[in-house]
Every structure is written in C-alpha cells, then in structure tokens.
Amino acid sequence: MLIAGNWKMNTDLPDGTALAENIAAGIDDADVDFSAVDFAVCPPSVHLQALNEALDGSPVALGAQDVHAEEEGAFTSDVSASMLTSVGCTHVILGHSERRQYYDETDADVNAKAHQAHAHKLVPIICVGEMLDQRKAGDATSVVQAQLEGALEGLSVDSADELVIAYEPVWAIGTGESATPAQAQDMHAVIRDDLADRYGADVAAGIPIVYGGSMKPWNAEELLSEDDVDGGLIGSASLEAESFLGIAEEAVGVLEGAAG
Ligand code: 13P
C-alpha cells in the first residue's frame, strides 16, 4: 500500500519542513505498525533539499510534482531529473490533471517525461482520470485508456517498482466528493488489465494503482479495501500530519483485515 501526499503549491519552507518532521515523528511514535505502508511526500520543488534532510532516516520517500523531459538547458523555471535525484527524490508525479488543465500538458508530454524519469531511475507516478462531462457521457474508461496509451508508449517496465499509476477522476479532486469504492475499483481494474497487456500479469499485479480525489481518513477504509486500490495520492488531507497518517492507519487496518 502506497500512501503519497501531493502538497501542490502549499506550505512555505518552515511549514513544509515542520509538516515533514511531524509525519516522520508520527510514524516513529505511533502505536500502529506502519511497516507495511510505503510513504511518499511530494512537496513544492523549493522544499526538496530541506525535506531530504528532514526525512533522513524516516521511511518517507521524497517525490517531486513534475520534471522536464530534457536533460538541461534554456527552460526557464523548469526542473530537471538530475536536479531531482541530486536532492534525494525517488518519485515524480507526472500528468496531474492540474498540469493538463492549466498548462495544456498532453499525453505525449507525459510520455516524454516518463522516459526521462526512467532514464534517471525516478519512479513516475502517472496520473490519469476523466472529467465529469466525460464520465457523464459514458467515456470515462476510454479516456483513461487513451491516457495510458499515450503516457506509457514505449516505456519498458520490467518490475513493479518502476511505475505507479494514480487514478484521479478530475471531478473528485478538491471537491470533497470522492469516487465511490465501486467506481474506483472498476477503473483500477481497467488500468490493471491495461498494464497486464503491456507488462505481463505478474508485473502488473504488483504495480501500485493508487486512488486520488478527496481521499480522507473517513472514506479511506472503504476505498482502500477494494482489490485493485493499492493506496492513495492525497491532496488536501496530506497537508496535516494527523489526517495523512490517519489515512495510513486505515491502510494498515485494511492490510491487517486482508491478512487476518
Ligand atoms: P484532494 O485530495 O485535495 O482532492 O487532491 C487529490 C489530488 O489531486 C492528489 O494529486
């Protein structure tokens, strides 16, 4: 189970550092055994270096929210893959719907960035998800399949730890209205099938397919209980250590239930 926080453009450096420290301390001090949970936080890029230090020795992986597809050069404001790895990043979110919506990022862009991430041994967390009108028109599945087709073209994945897919229905992001567990499971199963066709059933079975969109401590259990929901990519509830770890506690409960 992967519990990842996408902080988006939130927190200044002191607040972000405190949040990371609180998360690390919360994992350390908890009565709950979090060892079966993989954690990641994806703060704003200006925080990465400080958080690499703040999270040193903790089980929390560090991720960025985007990367440029080129190695280096005249791309004002952009951040390269080697910059990210040099400050301790192991993951990078790609193709978030906010990048697609506000910066016209295309599947081809996401694909180029995914190749670049892999070239630098960064695990891409590739976001897919339909808009509300697409769901209402009955097109949700084909939209997500097309996004996968575009984003994963030519990307070789030999083991399950080289890729994460985040299903984030756009209508559920920041709205307080998450997908139902059944809606999430249905789409995650579609994604799993797609990955199995590309990478084989064994690899696909282990690739984390996480859900994002208004995941909170109170709805996490039912979402995470679904067979193909392997964790969460959490926005606003990741901005407080208590709610972020509250979701992780639900993940532990689900894992223990499944094992027991
Ligand atoms: P919220 O959890 O705030 O809905 O955001 C989800 C998201 O976009 C994570 O990438």
Decide: 79 and 68 in contact? Cβ < 8 Å. yes
**Residue 96 annotated in active site:** yes
What's the Cα-to-Cα distance from 76 to each of 72, 79, 103, rounded to whole Å?
A: 10, 9, 15
pLDDT in tens, 201-258: 999 999 999 999 999 999 999 999 999 999 999 999 999 999 999 999 999 999 999 9
Domain that holds residue 239: 2-259
Q: Is 214 in the pocket of ligand 1 (CB under 6 A)?
A: yes
Pocket test for ligand 1, best of 236, 243, 247 (most atoms within 8 A of CB): 236
**Residue 188 annotated in active site:** no
User: Which residue in the list 47, 91, 96, 188 is annotated as catalytic?
Assistant: 96
Q: Is 235 in the pocket of ligand 1 (CB under 6 A)?
A: yes
Q: Is 236 in the pocket of ligand 1 (CB under 6 A)?
A: yes
Decide: 22 and 60 in contact? Cβ < 8 Å. no
pTM of the model: 0.98
> How close is the Cα of 96 to the center of ligand 1, in Å?
10
pLDDT in tens, 2-31: 999 999 999 999 999 999 999 999 999 999
Q: Is 213 in the pocket of ligand 1 (CB under 6 A)?
A: yes
Structural domains counted in the chain: 1
CATH code at position 32: 3.20.20.70
Span between the terminal Cα atoms of the chain, in Å: 16
